[in-house]
Amino acid sequence: MRARLFPVALFVLLCLPLLAQSSGPASRALTDPKSITSETNPNARSIPIDDLYFTRGLYGASWSPDGQQVVFTTNFSGRPNLWKVSAAGGWPIQLTQSDERQYNAVWSPDGKWIIYQQDAAGNELWDLFAVPSQGGEAINLTNTPNIREESPRWSPDGRTVALNYKPKDGTRYDLALLQWDTRKVAQLTHESAPNRSWSSVAWSPDGKTLYANRVEVSFTDSDVYSVDVASGKTTNLTPHQGNVLFMASSLSPDGKTLLVTSNQKGGYQNVALLDVASKKLTWVTDTQWEASAGDFSADGKWFTYVLNADGRTDIYLVSRAGQRAEKISVPSGLNFPAASPTSFSPQSDRLLISHESSVQPADYWVYQLAGRGMRQLTHSAIASLNSAPLPASQLVHYKTFDGQTISALMWVPFNLKRDGSNPALVLPHGGPTGQEVDYWNPHATALVSRGYICIAPNPRGSTGYGIAFQKANYQDLGGGDLQDEVYAAKFLQATGYVDAKKIGITGGSYGGYMTLIALTKTPDVWAAGVELFGIINWMTMLQHSDPELQEYEKSLLGDPVKDRKVYEADSPITYIHQLKAPLLVLQGENDPRVPKEEADQIVQLLKADGKTVDVHYYPNEGHGFEKRENQIDSIRRTIEWFDKYLKNAGSPAGAPSTGRN
């Protein structure tokens, strides 16, 4: 993709006073299904699978202390390793090489070292590594096979690294400190509640205090703390009654103010400034969409926040002196400040931004505060994607079974006839505490460019629409949220494009669970399914998954003894014999979140019933497939499955298993 330098005139800034009102979920208008159209494009074609997955992903950037370079994770080589690039642009240089995945790179204050986290075969038992910033041998700093050490954060003097710390069998994260000279790690906090975890936010300028968030596992309650580094004494800076979220993201350079996100205002996320000394909040936003705190600049004159309105995000730049919020004008999609510990350059003259959308892979852009211009820094897309016509996602809204409005992203292939003959797919997202947003989705693009209409709903339990909606699936997994997915299928039919007998469903993690509960509990809706690392039995998940995830499961379903009937009613295994549609199962062998035992149960039961089922296990993969060859293999298997059972009306439902593994 060619570099683009936008003139200042294109970056018109929308200046808003602080506390500007914004609309929210209640303002969504319903979408007439008949208004959905398939555009005519004579150049439309199937996008080559290899081109989609050789297009790179980008994660976790960090500025060098002199502001001259940026380090980041990319799968340029087919593995998520560290690369660095000149902040002025140019060809990126690979810094580390490993078959394992590497994330959260941060530069040491003197610029000589970069610390990052790395696990083994997808097991999420992260160690911290260090590599010289000019290249060289990587050093395992922690080397603890049964402990997770994550999210390194250097102290101002470079002598200490704060990290998030969890034993393999632990239910919660604590804060710990690694001494750079001795490599010794010592816990700083000692959490007693099984469902609360700590994560670091920022060091004070003098290095004596660490600011951190203490979060309840269901993401419905949290506080911001100061932690004395010498004694470990903690002070709650956001005491409150009831369940309220307070999450800090950045500390002002003078150490006096924290930038925080809170849903104290009516259950909707907003941004505020927290005075550390007085604990007083000054609100920055007042919206019922989802506003999230960003970063302070190094000179303290600016900070950022992000506004997520229905799965599309905008970045706002705020002048502390002028008390004005400026919307940074970038194309629609998913836009956010992109670097750690701050997205502002050390000189406070530039901001690193990530932009992506349903038709644009993620890339980093450097935004100049003087003149408000922006230049592309990375170039992720394979060349063919620049010339290939790609149907953009569109936001749709529909009423579900109980009258609630559900938002969804929808993709319509080119050149379809409105004759009720086309295949379609529902794509449930993971979580459930998450949201389908307008990001670059090669999985959906591969399917849409091959003629599948796709819709990805945000059912109850999703974030982005207020805390009441997020909690609406409590002890009702596979209940109301399943109906929200079923009504997405009804919306597809109502467009006039879709054959009701050619609707499939596919998703991963909680989306895999939703695929299973849909196929077993509402079997007549679906003609085929592909589930990736999904849950079949909440009780066995409780026995085998990571202990922290077990606490999260309890926050959704209740006590496994007292509420055992809820666990059973919400498990697809309860309805497994009702399944009719052919099912493909894809699973990582080392998955610590949804272990292989879940996939094993599904396959054994369906084979015993004589149902159509196939399975493939990926060695050296955890929760989600990171290795490029496995990403390509999994989407090829998915397309083959749906082509056979939706497009080509292959073996009838209930036919014997193919036996392929």
CA distance 489 to 505: 9
- The structure tokens listed for 585 are 């199962």
Q: Around Cβ 244, how many Cβ atoms within 10 Å?
A: 17
CA proximity to 554, closest of 218, 198, 244, 220:
218
When comparing pLDDT for 384 and 107, which is higher? 107
Identify the helix (H) or strand (E) that includes residue 163.
strand 160-167
User: Where residue 18 falls among pLDDT bands split at 50, 70, 90?
Assistant: low
Whole-model pTM: value is 0.93
The mean per-residue pLDDT over the stretch 262-282 comes to: 97
| Confidence (pLDDT) at 135 | 96
Question: Concatenated DSSP letters for 347-413?
Answer: TSSEEEEEEEETTEEEEEEEEETTT--EEE----S-HHHHHS--PPPEEEEEE-TTS-EEEEEEE--
| Confidence (pLDDT) at 388 | 87
Question: pLDDT tens digits for 578-603?
Answer: 999 999 999 999 999 999 999 999 99
- pLDDT over 90 at 454, yes or no: yes
Question: pLDDT tens digits for 180-231?
Answer: 999 999 999 999 999 999 999 999 999 999 999 999 999 999 999 999 999 9
User: Where residue 387 falls among pLDDT bands split at 50, 70, 90?
Assistant: confident
Identify the helix (H) or strand (E) that includes residue 226.
strand 222-228
CA proximity to 431, closest of 466, 473, 402, 372:
473
Beta-bridge partners for 463: none
Question: pLDDT tens digits for 320-329?
Answer: 998 789 999 9
User: Where residue 16 falls among pLDDT bands split at 50, 70, 90?
Assistant: very low
Name residues whose C-beta falls within 8 Å of residue 108's C-beta, 6 or more positions apart in sequence. 65, 114, 115, 133, 154, 158
The mean per-residue pLDDT over the stretch 481-495 comes to: 98
Question: pLDDT tens digits for 44-95?
Answer: 999 999 999 999 999 999 999 999 999 999 999 999 999 999 999 999 999 9
Going 585 to 587 to 589 to 592, the CA torsion angle's sign is negative
User: Where residue 8 falls among pLDDT bands split at 50, 70, 90?
Assistant: very low
The mean per-residue pLDDT over the stretch 362-391 comes to: 93
Q: Are strands 422-426 and 453-458 parallel, antiparallel or unpaired?
A: parallel
- pLDDT over 50 at 3, yes or no: no
- pLDDT over 80 at 13, yes or no: no
| Confidence (pLDDT) at 5 | 27
Question: pLDDT tens digits for 315-352?
Answer: 999 999 987 899 999 999 999 999 999 999 999 999 99
Per cent of the chain over pLDDT 90 is 93
The mean per-residue pLDDT over the stretch 148-161 comes to: 98
Beta-bridge partners for 186: 177
**Average pLDDT taken over every residue of the chain:** 94
Please measure the distance between the N-terminal and C-terminal CA atoms of the chain and give it in whole angstroms.
Answer: 38
- pLDDT over 50 at 654, yes or no: no
- pLDDT over 80 at 620, yes or no: yes
Edge-first strand order for the sheet with 360-368 is 5-6, 374-376, 360-368, 350-357, 334-337
CA distance 442 to 631: 10
Flag the least confident range among 132-141, 353-362, 382-391, 613-622. Answer: 382-391
Name residues whose C-beta falls within 8 Å of residue 249's C-beta, 6 or more positions apart in sequence. 201, 259, 260, 261, 292, 293, 294, 295
Domains of the chain: 385-647 (3.40.50.1820)
- pLDDT over 70 at 17, yes or no: no
CA distance 499 to 520: 21
| Confidence (pLDDT) at 651 | 38
Token match 């999450």: residue?
A: 247
CA distance 91 to 559: 54
Burial 598-609 (b: 16+ CB within 10 A, else e): bbbbbbebbeee
CA–CA distances in Å: residue 349 to residues 301, 484, 628: 11, 46, 37
